[in-house]
Structure 1
């Protein structure tokens, strides 16, 4: 699969894919005889994993690079990889909790706002 096809499939720019590979976030992609990147399904699984962890979960690039590096070192790093994911989950859970509190405050503010507007509108006469 070409970089253009992977870019379209995952809605990630080609520059971002090159960047991910350059910084070691995406394991090195093989190239064909013409030196053009040739993504395999395994490479695509990595792109999907990175997109999920980066864009959906908000994991920092540094944590993902560390995870990929540990993965490439082999099975003996499985515990370290799991600990890294647990640590990142804890960070995400804290953000989730904080966002929940913020959402609750906004909902309360909207409720009070609507109650205030409704009271004022009741005092208005229809023309």
Structure 2
């Protein structure tokens, strides 16, 4: 396994465009990215690990400002673990609420699908067809 990862390798691993990867860097979600002697950006394993968590949090709708705060806490070291835990627990609570809301919405959609199927079945029955 390589000690360094190229931007192309990292973007492919997470399904990100290179622009998105650079955006995450500009927004402070990653620390300063090292450069190869030729000037190309290169990522270490800890950059990739942090990016994996950043993607998870972003994919679950954590705002960029909160992500930046979390990434800064990570860079500050283990003394910030209680604060990081608070950020993650708060986010997990919001995520659980969102999932519950989506499940309620899904049930409403399922109800409407069942209703429309019953209307079609009744219509087919009166016309002598079987669905």
Could you state the TM-score of these two structures normalised by the residue count of structure 2? 0.88
- Is 1:115 aligned with 2:118? yes
Gaps of 5+ in 2: none
Distance 1:102 1:11 in 2: 29
Instruction: Provide the alpha-carbon RMSD of the alignment.
Output: 1.3
Which of residues 38, 58, 73 in structure 1 aligns to 2:76? 73
Question: Could you say which residue in structure 1 is the equivalent of 2:16?
Answer: 12
Distance 2:15 2:103 in 1: 29
Gaps of 5+ in 1: none
Distance 2:71 2:32 in 1: 11
* Partner SS state of residue 82, structure 2: helix
Task: Note the alpha carbon deviations across 1:29-71, whole angstroms, 9 max, x for none.
Answer: 111111211111221112222122212x222212211111111
How many positions carry a matched residue from both structures?
125
Distance 2:19 2:43 in 1: 15
* Partner SS state of residue 28, structure 1: coil
Deviation at 1:99, TM superposition (A): 0.5
Could you state the TM-score of these two structures normalised by the residue count of structure 1? 0.91
Task: Note the alpha carbon deviations across 1:106-126, whole angstroms, 9 max, x for none.
Answer: 111111111111001101146
Distance 1:69 1:84 in 2: 12
- Is 1:102 aligned with 2:105? yes
1:27-46 superposed matches below 5 A: 27-46=31-50
